[in-house]
Structure 1
């Protein structure tokens, strides 16, 4: 029995032997069956556990039978049979007293009776402290800590769990130490401290796996955490794995809870049909399990999916749903917002105002995401009194989120977390459009794009483990490429590469930012454009708008649908790729016709230098192919604020450095020619460490190498050097980057666009770390085509032309269209 508690996996081969040895002794058999059943429950074999625990109840008498009923109740809860579990534990309470009340509290918690559960925990804790039963007290503290976290009493939750961990260590319950670490991860996830939560979950996974425990709860908590920072794809993957594991372990109780996570992920991905499907399936299962509180959560999610899809919303008892959600502040706030929207549809203004008024109270306390939802409700409410007040509330909500996310050290977490800004930013933009004031539209277009770039320069702290993993990845990739070239088996190396990338990604997410904080977007009056024209593109409700600033005057015009422009844009890289391989008149004609149409739709008729601030699909446009851009300096910037910041950054000394990578026939020759222009060295066989050194010291760096944008894992986008890839994580660790970076490599000027117009990739990272200008291609380009262009660019840079003008003149001189753009300022 002792072994079943501390190392259940070791019990399973021994249990049948012990039961056989106890034949003829009912008391011994009862204890052996109880140990067997408890070990099975601990290792996820719940159905078998119920069989053995029922046998233990039948064989036992008095206290022994009551102990078996307690463990049977635990297993029945895992099966989702909470009512049956409650009957068993109520029979144990007269015999076991406080310990059984603690178990009853767990069941009441799963049934959604949070106040009754808390009362039982309080009563049991006092009795157990008096009696000195440390094992039962440790269990009570773990479960009460989870309940405290649900109620957002985070300090109390952490206090309970840390005391429980101390007791578990004293009692030698190592598996339970891992389970407590998982619960600490859950608490920090609810509190919004992502690095702390990830660290706890990593520790939990290691300990629980070592002791053969159940990893499904860790997968579930990790899915919820990843969802909180907008990593929808990864969250879905972990939630799906958790459901499979819960089913395999017979733990049906947790399946519908995890289905609700999948529904939330689908909502964030705007997949309304999937969200409704998952929520309805969860609702049916909660109803069968008699868990009315959780059923209310599922009903609220079904309502939100229908609202988002624009479908009719039927809800028979909204007040009952709200009442059933008591004790879940975030769910209550969201339900009030959704019911307000339903009331507005039905023109029940007083009811809508009442719901929004209740939801808006959340802005005064709790985790950042909860306060932001409160400010969102307040902004919706204030729309009735005037746009100025509504916009002020939306600003406050965005600031709450931005201040919270500023502590994230990992670039992908900061970028994807912008997903939670979307409602506030869209609301602000709609209100601004309604005012008819172009300056308001400009402000909210800025607030809704690339907010990560509005934070002051953020650099993850030095981390020895991350620093050791990156060279291992380079060595593995170099060995893998050699094996493929020689035709050798490479499966083990491929698995090692995947494992190292996973470890690097996970390690980076544990880091906190050492600097940073949100900055206000630039005002139009602060932009010193000179003779330039700024065109800021805006996407709203499937349509594109363009806001143009010429000589300080703002004008707003409609462009067309996103679908129309996307269809045209798909033709451009296709044509450029085919022209680079073999010039054909029909392809050239297609390119010219498409470029002319895009030019007409997107750009103003002004023969001046351009500053372009794209949105969504427009981030990948090779602007030099458009007729009105040929020979004209065009700068592409993720936001006007970033352009303003970079344009006003003090210029650094123009020191030049050059490096080239392997496998490109013309790269070495190109690098030598560029080095000769600037009379600088061209290190042969440049390694990643050598290139990182010049990136950290030179003012302008030219890199001629194979480039690769990794759309599925953009932080592993890379430049190939002689000892392996230089990836985004390498650039993030630099104290300083060059003022100007020129990458004569395919595709690395393009970034992966995620929610909120956040960008991920090499180019985006150089800009985030402080580069003022970057010249790179947004489409694949042949090696031979870049050499002459780069030489022409560098001759002009040597003559002190700004990078955008140098690129424009070089492209005009050579005449052939290409995908190179100047990004930054």
Structure 2
């Protein structure tokens, strides 16, 4: 094969399989040099540079494309030189040199004619899109497409449509973007261009993310990353896009990790243009998680980097993030706020425009009404749900002082939009984290209710602002063999890790992390099964009737102050308690003191007892005020979710149950469908077998000892009462991987979500199994929260680590009372009171248990 034929073969391969090009191009270039053929060398270098562009090797791409231009001049190949200039322009803009890029592509447009000029215009449109000159970019695309179509060059058509979709996405023209991408994918798949398909699918993910379809977006981005990686491409942009999506879904911590990962990869791959975008994402994620210092530092750096790239719109977006971080930290000025609004509005970015108006309104009170009115206009436009909800928030702020009734109406409108959007989410963690978008709306509603002063209004907004996602009890998802297989693999790895040495641990942990990520990502692509009901707070009269002789105490935080709502004897009262911080500090002392108390032979046990007593009395006085002795329903907030209530003096011997909200407490009422009992013991827990045998004997059943996960899950779906003694673990980083250890490995939260229903009344003798991870809006994730969503109405479990051997007398005494006809809250309170003089470990174990859910329904009325 002669040099020209080799060059043409390389050029054809660059469009279909760029990862294979470098070794073939090296041979073709050597052949061109041996034969003294500058035309073959030019074509080869252009193809080599084009392939490197697609795989992200920007520096090498620039070198080969410059060489292609030089060889083209020698050979008199004007078209090859112009095309190389167009590709060189893209490489330069990716390296953060937009002015040079425009100079190169403008030169290409001037020197080329016909379809070659159209291709150069399409390349210029890409560069104009990247630097924010969207109207000019659209004009170039519109001018170039007819000629490229007429030429019959399907690859060029596909490339233009893919690139134009990015512009449509920036302009929120999602239907146009999806149409372009659909046609481009069909062409690329027919022509056998898998890397191009991966890039197209990535853009589909970005479009669906901005449109608000989180499951579809995640599925597209996951598929794109696999396609790009499998075909020699670099995945940094897919990682960045996933980070943007995770942040939009409220997963700020994960978004921050992906932003850091993307920034590292972009720097390594030479995508300098995109590095400040990853830095900006990191700033936005840090701001969303309350890390104002990191947010401000990263936003400041991103602002400078965008300015050096002459990307004024992106610099304005970074400046907006900087102002938001400073505003939330209480350290900013109004300088430049109006200019931000102007720049971001001109860029055509709806979400950023609304946020800029909100920031300007907060910083410039004299013109706040005008900015809020401008932001509020987006509430009724055809934009994604999150933007419309922010528009309603702006309207509520605008009306808050002069017309509170209309402000409340605006808040409710925003909440309806967000709750309808949440109904499209199937994964539990996505539903929970999506509540972060409700936070400012419900906080404003609560603030207005507190200002109004009527307790029933305060209760309504306390309920609207907490645990709304737990009210959704989804139907059982369809059978998912892939998920079942992944969970089985993860159990196997966890089982091996339990006895692994250092070498095996080093091998198994990465496998465990990979499996957990695959499970998490797979589940998040699921659509919800069944209809999601709207979150409606329980009416006050219905709540009064349900409580009867019991007392409800609901805590709510507003602007750093803790408030208490009390409903007893038909009377509702609301009062401020005081700053949250000192109370949270008291709560943090409890587990430390109980742990010291439970340790045998600890010389500091008396000091721990004194610390526990002092903290409990101080908390009791602050939280409950010593009022009343009726059975108690507690709805906590924030740090109060982990309080072991029985240690408070006024709760000694008093039936207490804990519920995320009064609405959920009412919804949990009702008897079990069956009174069948199952008792399960897990391995490697001292005393678990003996405890299970004694509890099983109380109920007249045989215990399940050393049963595997699938056997236990089958039982859980059929019985009304369950007792399970096992090692428990709350995974605070990934609560859906919290687990209970059984014979063949851990039973995970993901396993429970596969059940059609769980037992009505459950007791877990497992450390931390009653504790949940708490998120914005007092949304909960963990074993206890998942049991509640799958149908468990009552749960007795510890909120602290408890001594293994000491749980047996606690659980035996509790089940004796339960079997005699006592409701769980009553049985637990009586057990804890009876053990008040027991040995310290037993006393500490008893104190660590809480009753959750309804708590006052006897599963065995009148005894078994």
Task: Measure, in 1, the Cα distance between the counterparts of 2:851 and 2:378.
Answer: 44
Quick check: 1:220 aligned with 2:240? yes
Task: Measure, in 2, the Cα distance between the counterparts of 1:513 and 1:320.
Answer: 39
| Matching of residues 574-593 of structure 1 within 5 Å | 574-582=592-600, 584-593=605-614
Show CA shifts across 1:229-267 (max 9, x none).
Answer: 111111111111111111111111101111111111112
**Normalising to structure 2: TM-score of the pair?**
0.92
| Matching of residues 152-191 of structure 1 within 5 Å | 152-191=172-211
Residue matched to 2:453 = 436
Residue matched to 1:355 = 371
Quick check: 1:819 aligned with 2:848? yes
Residue matched to 1:42 = 54
Q: 1:116 aligns with which of 107, 113, 136?
A: 136
Question: Is the 1:409–1:458 Cα contact (8 Å) retained in structure 2?
Answer: no
Show CA shifts across 1:421-472 (max 9, x none).
Answer: 1111111111111111111111111111112113344544432210111112
Residue matched to 1:144 = 164
Question: Is the 1:746–1:778 Cα contact (8 Å) retained in structure 2?
Answer: yes
| Matching of residues 45-444 of structure 1 within 5 Å | 45-60=57-72, 61-94=77-110, 95=112, 96-316=116-336, 318-319=338-339, 321-326=341-346, 327-344=348-365, 348=366, 351-364=367-380, 365-444=382-461
5+ residue gaps, structure 1? none
Task: Measure, in 1, the Cα distance between the counterparts of 2:373 and 2:578.
Answer: 37
Residue matched to 1:743 = 764
Q: Please say which of residues 117-126 and 613-622 is displaced more in the overlay.
A: 117-126
Work out the number of aligned pairs and report it.
817
Residue matched to 1:545 = 563
Residue matched to 1:691 = 712
Task: Measure, in 2, the Cα distance between the counterparts of 1:426 and 1:317.
Answer: 25
5+ residue gaps, structure 2? 1-10, 837-842, 855-864
Task: Measure, in 1, the Cα distance between the counterparts of 2:802 and 2:344.
Answer: 59
Quick check: 1:611 aligned with 2:633? yes
Q: Please say which of residues 784-793 and 550-559 is displaced more in the overlay.
A: 550-559
Structure 1 residue 525, shift from structure 2 partner: 2.3
| Matching of residues 441-460 of structure 1 within 5 Å | 441-457=458-474, 459-460=476-477
Residue matched to 1:471 = 488
Show CA shifts across 1:104-151 (max 9, x none).
Answer: 111111121111111211222233223333222111111111111222
Aligned partner of residue 783 in structure 1, secondary structure: coil
Task: Measure, in 1, the Cα distance between the counterparts of 2:685 and 2:796.
Answer: 19
Structure 1 residue 367, shift from structure 2 partner: 1.1
Q: 1:784 aligns with which of 783, 795, 805?
A: 805
Aligned partner of residue 214 in structure 1, secondary structure: coil
Task: Measure, in 2, the Cα distance between the counterparts of 1:289 and 1:756.
Answer: 40
Residue matched to 1:572 = 590
Task: Measure, in 2, the Cα distance between the counterparts of 1:798 and 1:320.
Answer: 67
Residue matched to 1:502 = 517
Question: Is the 2:158–2:184 Cα contact (8 Å) retained in structure 1?
Answer: yes
Task: Measure, in 1, the Cα distance between the counterparts of 2:55 and 2:208.
Answer: 26
Task: Measure, in 1, the Cα distance between the counterparts of 2:765 and 2:620.
Answer: 26
Task: Measure, in 2, the Cα distance between the counterparts of 1:757 and 1:317.
Answer: 33
Task: Measure, in 2, the Cα distance between the counterparts of 1:810 and 1:774.
Answer: 15
Q: Please say which of residues 740-749 and 381-390 is displaced more in the overlay.
A: 381-390
Question: Is the 1:688–1:726 Cα contact (8 Å) retained in structure 2?
Answer: yes
Question: Is the 1:296–1:325 Cα contact (8 Å) retained in structure 2?
Answer: no
Q: Please say which of residues 399-408 and 177-186 is displaced more in the overlay.
A: 399-408
Structure 1 residue 397, shift from structure 2 partner: 0.8
Question: Is the 2:341–2:357 Cα contact (8 Å) retained in structure 1?
Answer: no
Quick check: 1:657 aligned with 2:657? no
Aligned partner of residue 364 in structure 2, secondary structure: helix
Residue matched to 2:16 = 6
Aligned partner of residue 499 in structure 2, secondary structure: helix
Residue matched to 2:862 = none
Aligned partner of residue 22 in structure 1, secondary structure: helix
Please report the RMSD computed on the Cα atoms of aligned residues, expressed in angstroms.
Answer: 1.6
Q: 2:648 aligns with which of 601, 616, 626?
A: 626
Q: Please say which of residues 310-319 and 393-402 is displaced more in the overlay.
A: 310-319
Show CA shifts across 1:514-542 (max 9, x none).
Answer: 02232211132221211111111111222
Residue matched to 2:824 = 803
Task: Measure, in 2, the Cα distance between the counterparts of 1:587 and 1:291.
Answer: 60
Task: Measure, in 2, the Cα distance between the counterparts of 1:488 and 1:800.
Answer: 53
Question: Is the 1:300–1:321 Cα contact (8 Å) retained in structure 2?
Answer: no
Task: Measure, in 2, the Cα distance between the counterparts of 1:324 and 1:512.
Answer: 34
Structure 1 residue 601, shift from structure 2 partner: 0.6
Show CA shifts across 1:555-585 (max 9, x none).
Answer: 2222222221122112211111122222732
